[in-house]
Amino acid sequence: MTNYKVISTSKTKIIATLGPSSKDKNIIEKMIRNGARGFRINFSHGDQAQWSDFVNTVRMLEQSMETPLALIGDLQGPNIRLGNLPQQSVFIKKGMIYEVNLSQTSDDVNKIPVPTKEFFDKLVIGDTIQVGDNMLSLKVTEKKENVVYTEALSSGEIKSRMSIRIKDKDIDVPYMTSKDKQDLLFAVKNNFSHIMISFVRTEKDVLCVKNTLKEVTEDPPRILAKIETRSAVEHLEEIVRASDGVVVARGDLGKVFPLEYLPELQSRIVSVARRRGKPVYIATQLLTSMVDSPIPTRSEVVDVYVSVKEGVDGVMLTNETSIGKYPAETVEWAKRIIDNAERNPEVNVYPEVEDLSWRFGRGIIELSTLLESPIIIYSLTGKAMRISSAYRPRYPLFIGSPNWSVLRDCAILYGCIPIHIDSNEYEEGLEKLKARLKEMEMLKEGTLTISSYKFTHLDKQKITIEKI
């Protein structure tokens, strides 16, 4: 008898970033048991050999634990970075003058290389250059062709390949880099379910990635646009429309906006995504103290709780699970906070989509709430589950499908519990799904259920209310 070994009924999903701290199979298994349903691989770090190890481990555990898992590749994007410094790190001293020039490498600690011409084209005297996480600032005092002279406004350490930006300015560079194209091909080859795209500026960047994917696969991963630039906030509606979901990337948002603006920006991004019926995820510094501590701070607990109350599809852990000392414990704490926040749901923003299939989906969710009944859906394409999830069901939303790409997408959608069923016939698939749920003791004798599937070729939807 086949049974899922790991079942999580949390509606809000947990995505964990893989890295040096979580490369061990046992650690990843613990994170799955503790509630992780998606794993992010940051293509800005490591190489394809390391990523392949992560992929193989996750897919092996997915099969042995019989739990669909989303694999998410995070493209580096057009992020401008320093070139190679003359030593491992260089200390910048406040008040000193430093040359910043167009080059790939530097052999002088007083000269900082930046190998991107568009960066220098945008600079003017008086601009502030920010390096890393805004901890180091340089003010431009003189400009020549492809070189500027700057005064250090603060002291700090810089390293090769650190990110660099101009305060309050976006830099117009081609969106798809050669590295991103190679990483995208790696993701397609390894059946990643999602791609996060970084430093999106307008919907054109989203469409650029989608068009690139169309050239290499008929079953592309779903595109999650990270909202982390000023331009992305200004073009939020069109980006949400063009993408398959969005990520509130609070780390870089906090570099281009004053920190006190972040709560309002987060709420706005979540609200726009929710109204458009698109999945939305919160990322960065959710439980940061757990990089070094086995328990979170009180304010971090409140932060995760508030994010769940806003009705997001999931939360994404970054440094906590990639380089932290307690990756499995961090996932466990995230789940504890989520489960407590979901005890009294307060979702009050719903999709404003007038399509008939969306109205039908809302009707099923409202019926489920009225009858206090779980929903059972059999789907070959995943459209029904995405619509149902968008209306934030209060009761379990069981999704059966023979299609692993559908199940992996479902793994990080709000409220969905994906189950692999081998059948290409809707009636048979639905009956097999019900039988499996009874085997798993997810449905008890006498439970009132709502089941549904669509006859695609007949443009007909069937809904059944019955006691199991």
Question: Which tokens is 75 given?
Answer: 């493209």
pLDDT of residue 31: 98
* pTM exceeds 0.85: yes
The answer to whether residue 83 scores a pLDDT higher than 80 is yes
Angle at CA of residue 234, ends 229 and 235, nearest 5°: 95
More confidently predicted of 7 and 57: 57
Distances (CA, A) of 34 to 169, 242, 284, 332: 41, 33, 20, 5
Distances (CA, A) of 440 to 7, 141, 297: 9, 68, 36
The tens digit of pLDDT for each residue in 132-190 reads 876 799 999 999 999 999 999 999 999 998 889 998 888 888 899 889 999 999 999 99
What domains lie within the chain, and their CATH numbers? Answer: 13-77+175-341 (3.20.20.60), 89-166 (2.40.33.10), 356-467 (3.40.1380.20)
pLDDT of residue 6: 63
- Which amino acid, 97? I
Tell me how far apart the alpha carbons of residues 215 and 185 are, in angstroms, rounded to a whole number. Answer: 10
The tens digit of pLDDT for each residue in 180-193 reads 999 999 999 999 99
pLDDT of residue 456: 60
pLDDT of residue 4: 47
Q: Do strands 245-249 and 280-283 pair parallel, antiparallel, or not at all (unpaired)?
A: parallel
Tell me how far apart the alpha carbons of residues 250 and 256 are, in angstroms, rounded to a whole number. Answer: 10
Of 291, 294, 299, the C-alpha closest to 321 is 291
Of 431, 425, 406, 403, the C-alpha closest to 416 is 406
Tell me how far apart the alpha carbons of residues 193 and 68 are, in angstroms, rounded to a whole number. Answer: 11
Whole-number mean pLDDT of the chain?
A: 93
Tell me how far apart the alpha carbons of residues 401 and 309 are, in angstroms, rounded to a whole number. Answer: 29
Give the highest mean pLDDT range of 80-89, 235-244, 382-391. Answer: 235-244
Of 208, 196, 112, 197, the C-alpha closest to 160 is 112
